[in-house]
Amino acid sequence: MGFFLVFFLSLISLASSASRVELKTFIVRVQHEAKPSIFTNHKHWYESSLSSVLSPSTPTQVLHVYDSVFHGFSAKLSPTEALKLQTLPHVIAVIPEQVRYLQTTRSPLFLGLKTTDKAGLLKESDFGSDLVIGVIDTGIWPERQSFNDRDLGPIPSKWKGQCVTTTDFGSRSCNKKLIGARYFCSGYEATNGKMNETSEFRSPRDSDGHGTHTASIAAGRYVFPASTLGYAKGVAAGMAPKARLAAYKVCWNAGCYDSDILAAFDSAVADGVDVISLSVGGAVVPYYLDAIAIGAFGAADKGIFVSASAGNGGPGGLTVTNVAPWVATIGAGTIDRDFPADVKLGNGKVVPGVGVYNGPGLSPGRTYPLVYAGSGGGDGYSSSLCLEGSLDPDLVKGKIVLCDRGINSRAAKGDVVKKAGGVGMIIANGVFDGEGLVVDCHVLPATAVGASNADEIRQYIDSASKSNAPATATIVFKGTRLGVRPAPVVASFSARGPNPETPEILKPDVIAPGLNILAAWPDHLGPSGIPSDNRRTEFNILSGTSMACPHVSGLAALLKAAHPEWSPAAIKSALMTTAYTVDNRGEIMIDESNGNTSTVFDFGSGHVHPTKAMDPGLVYDITPMDYVDFLCNSNYTINNIQVITRRNADCSGAKRAGHIGNLNYPSFSAVFQQNDKHKMSIHFIRQATNVGGPNSVYKVRIKPPSGTLVTVEPQQLVFRRVGQKLNFLVRVEAMAVKLAPGSSSTKSGTIVWSDGKHNVTSPIIVTMQQPL
């Protein structure tokens, strides 16, 4: 097998002298087996390769050496030096580094995970006690109760990782729960210069809060009582409370750099993790240019399940990220809990909103002058958004201020209003945000309202200004509300399909709880994340697909513990084919952004259902070589495929697989270019593996997308034994529809295999495209 070196080229700031050459961090793969015997190790060889192309003024500095998910290193070069490096006979590929960003408790109960359940997933998997979840994020605050190791057995013998100690992360920071902790900052510092250690820790310790939060969602211990500022009271627990954790810190104040992320993947695989959780994302690029896709393939190749956040670019289409088919791509839904904080206007109208606040409040029964931040003259745009320094204290002092959402964080707007003398704040969604509401722990009494309600408040302020009665309001906080209907709802921010890189693979795969999730929080940081916030809390409420992803990471660990023989693809299949699309009213889940029925591009296969995933009946398994065929049929070159898979691919066999949609994926996506054709058809080949009982007979039920004919052959699968694999063929025929040039139309349906006990469900989506 040929192995190849990759090495990352990231943009670094230009020196003040215009004559200085701009330095970047290039990623280069080299044939690993080509190392001459004169070099004692690969690092010496890499440095020699570098020095042969570097100008005398460039230091030969290797940032990271990689050995597990691929073999290589990262370093800082000029573009000219990178081009020279590409001409060396053992160099295969050059890839530019991306900067990625974070995609920022009642959920176990909402998901049906109960500790009292004698035969459920938690019991069956012993809470995942021998499984290790690697969290690639902002680090961890190890002293939190969510990471205590009471009653945990010895560290699994397979574990090869370590706890990197520093002055602020001592040897006692790790225990039998947090069994590994590392940090990676060479890529970050290559671009940004030496980090400011007064504002972030050069250690695995979390200075942001995001990594602590996501780690405790995946595998936090049972903690009671848990709440934040008195809200969301109850027991806090992660998905796999006994699973072990390893924290890999790659995200810093300026973002998360590909060379560091890849180093974390490399270490996690070598250390012996079972699941990797990554709540980080960036631009979608071809898989051979995508460090996350490359690292995730190397992990999946070793049997490690990789879960990644879908991104927070919703509700617009084509916003989903982390779309490689060997990654579980997780969108976000709501749970049946919210935090109502209503606006009572001076005209008696009550406008619903959400908010969390427990400091000195507004006086009960009293209303306060209400003002729109953008109406104060000066730079109306900056002030409407309540940006730093934009508000006139004379305008806002003693008043409740309506601020538009956008640019700065929602909590930062509250800080700006408070510093200018405002007594309260209403955050107004814009048209793009729709009706989706996110809770924050504000530094003053504050609530958030949807776009249509924000318009109503603005109209009231406007009409009041024209009368003799100035606008007034108050905010009424109603605490924590449970049993909310409908739930789940697809979160407005959750990134949507179709898949921008491979439309034939439906993404996101599933959704999981991601709105207003309570989880652990560092001790040195206020719950709003604002530097001036001196409040301290053990837990905090955050939202994002960042929060949805670790739910699935924890569930994957439980499934792996219950079914050690299952591959990452089998685990993902179990989660997808048992997911549900109906809310607690018995209707198709709605889209939070507009209140309409949501679609497969919003929720993928549906919302995860852990207890059903434990026993899915059938799974669609995928081997690493199947992914090679998929890449061949994606028209990737042999070179491209080697970069991702470290394999010398032979694409002649892939043609037997037929086309890109024949990857044995648990969902079906047909994309038709209409041109002048009236009738179009495509077929999919799938292979189902029986993981239920022996002597099982599955019959197919088809709900075709409207305007299509879908047939399945055979219509019955007869399994004699567990582990048996049977193939079936799906044929989709569609008639052309009237479309404007450059537009498309999408319809969806389902294919369900049922044996009377299991319903193995796959969405089928048909997209008609009219070329320009």
Separation between Cα atoms, residue 437 and residue 429, nearest integer Å: 8
What are the respective helix, strand and coil percentages of the chain, to the nearest 5? Answer: 25, 30, 50
120 has pLDDT over 90 = no
Q: Which entry of 207, 494, 546, 667 is annotated as an active-site residue?
A: 546
184 — alpha (psi -120 to 50), left (phi > 0) or beta?
Answer: beta
What pLDDT, on a 0 to 100 scale, did the predictor assign at position 377?
A: 63
Taking residues 650-656, report their average pLDDT.
81
Q: Which entry of 32, 64, 210, 609 is annotated as an active-site residue?
A: 210
What pLDDT, on a 0 to 100 scale, did the predictor assign at position 361?
A: 85
Tell me the per-residue pLDDT of 382-421, one tens digit each, with 9 for 90 and over. Answer: 999 999 999 999 999 999 999 999 888 999 999 999 999 9
Least confident of 26-30, 514-518, 551-555, 645-649: 26-30
Taking residues 761-769, report their average pLDDT.
97
Strands 280-281 and 99-102: antiparallel
The larger pLDDT score, comparing residue 81 to residue 457, is at 457
294 — alpha (psi -120 to 50), left (phi > 0) or beta?
Answer: alpha
Taking residues 17-42, report their average pLDDT.
74
What pLDDT, on a 0 to 100 scale, did the predictor assign at position 3?
A: 33
Q: Are 297 and 640 in contact (CB under 8 A)?
A: no
What pLDDT, on a 0 to 100 scale, did the predictor assign at position 28?
A: 76
Q: Which entry of 49, 125, 137, 669 is annotated as an active-site residue?
A: 137
103 has pLDDT over 90 = no
Please report, rounded to a whole number, the percentage of residues in the chain having pLDDT higher than 70.
Answer: 94
- Least Cα distance to 142 among 165, 166, 164, 175 occurs for 175
Q: How far apart are the first and last CA of the chain?
A: 44
Least confident of 105-119, 226-240, 553-567, 752-766: 105-119
Tell me the per-residue pLDDT of 524-563, one tens digit each, with 9 for 90 and over. Answer: 999 988 888 999 999 999 999 999 999 999 999 999 999 9
- Least Cα distance to 358 among 336, 334, 339 occurs for 339
Residue in the structure block whose two tokens are 């021998």: 130
What pLDDT, on a 0 to 100 scale, did the predictor assign at position 228?
A: 86
Please report, rounded to a whole number, the percentage of residues in the chain having pLDDT higher than 90.
Answer: 75
739 has pLDDT over 50 = yes
Tell me the per-residue pLDDT of 273-326, one tens digit each, with 9 for 90 and over. Answer: 999 999 999 999 999 999 999 999 999 999 999 999 999 999 999 999 999 999
Least confident of 32-41, 168-177, 613-622: 32-41
Tell me the per-residue pLDDT of 694-721, one tens digit each, with 9 for 90 and over. Answer: 999 999 999 999 999 999 999 999 999 9
> Which positions ≥6 away from 206 have C-beta within 8 Å?
137, 138, 139, 140, 141, 212, 247, 249, 522
Q: Are 138 and 102 in contact (CB under 8 A)?
A: yes
Q: Are 88 and 53 in contact (CB under 8 A)?
A: yes
116 has pLDDT over 60 = no
The mean pLDDT of the chain is 91
Q: Are 335 and 487 in contact (CB under 8 A)?
A: yes
Supply the DSSP string of 251-316, one letter for each residue: EETTEEEHHHHHHHHHHHHHHT-SEEEE-EE-----GGG-HHHHHHHHHHHTT-EEEEE--S-TTS
20 has pLDDT over 90 = no
Taking residues 36-49, report their average pLDDT.
87
Tokens coding 546: 């960042």
Sheet holding 424-428, edge to edge: 350-351, 341-345, 472-477, 368-372, 400-404, 424-428, 446-449
Cβ of 225: how many Cβ atoms within 10 Å? 10
Tell me the per-residue pLDDT of 411-435, one tens digit each, with 9 for 90 and over. Answer: 999 999 999 999 999 999 998 888 9
- pLDDT band (50, 70, 90) for residue 126: low
Q: Are 358 and 233 in contact (CB under 8 A)?
A: no
- Least Cα distance to 539 among 279, 209, 245 occurs for 209
- Catalytic residue status for 509: no
What pLDDT, on a 0 to 100 scale, did the predictor assign at position 104?
A: 63
Taking residues 651-671, report their average pLDDT.
90
Tokens coding 475: 């905010």
- pLDDT band (50, 70, 90) for residue 2: very low
Residue in the structure block whose two tokens are 């292979």: 687
Tell me the per-residue pLDDT of 70-94, one tens digit each, with 9 for 90 and over. Answer: 877 888 888 888 888 888 888 887 7
- Least Cα distance to 216 among 182, 259, 187, 245 occurs for 245
Least confident of 66-80, 128-142, 175-189, 717-731: 66-80
Task: Please indicate, yes or no, whether the overall pTM of this predicted structure exceeds 0.85.
Answer: yes
13 has pLDDT over 50 = no
What pLDDT, on a 0 to 100 scale, did the predictor assign at position 227?
A: 83
- pLDDT band (50, 70, 90) for residue 125: very low
Separation between Cα atoms, residue 549 and residue 316, nearest integer Å: 20
121 has pLDDT over 70 = no
What pLDDT, on a 0 to 100 scale, did the predictor assign at position 109?
A: 54
Strands 744-754 and 696-703: antiparallel
* The total number of residues written for the chain in this structure: 772
What pLDDT, on a 0 to 100 scale, did the predictor assign at position 15?
A: 30
Q: Where are the alpha helices (DSSP H) in 437-540?
A: 451-465
The larger pLDDT score, comparing residue 492 to residue 106, is at 492
- pLDDT band (50, 70, 90) for residue 9: very low
| Distances 43 to 5, 24, 66, 75 between C-alpha atoms, Å | 11, 20, 9, 12
Q: Are 514 and 547 in contact (CB under 8 A)?
A: yes
Strands 72-75 and 517-520: unpaired
- Catalytic residue status for 523: no
Tell me the per-residue pLDDT of 194-253, one tens digit each, with 9 for 90 and over. Answer: 999 999 999 999 999 999 999 999 999 998 888 888 888 888 889 999 999 999 999 999
- Catalytic residue status for 563: no
Burial string for 70-105 (b: 16+ CB within 10 Å, else e) reads: bbbbbbbbbeebbebbeeeebbbbbbbbbbbbbbbb
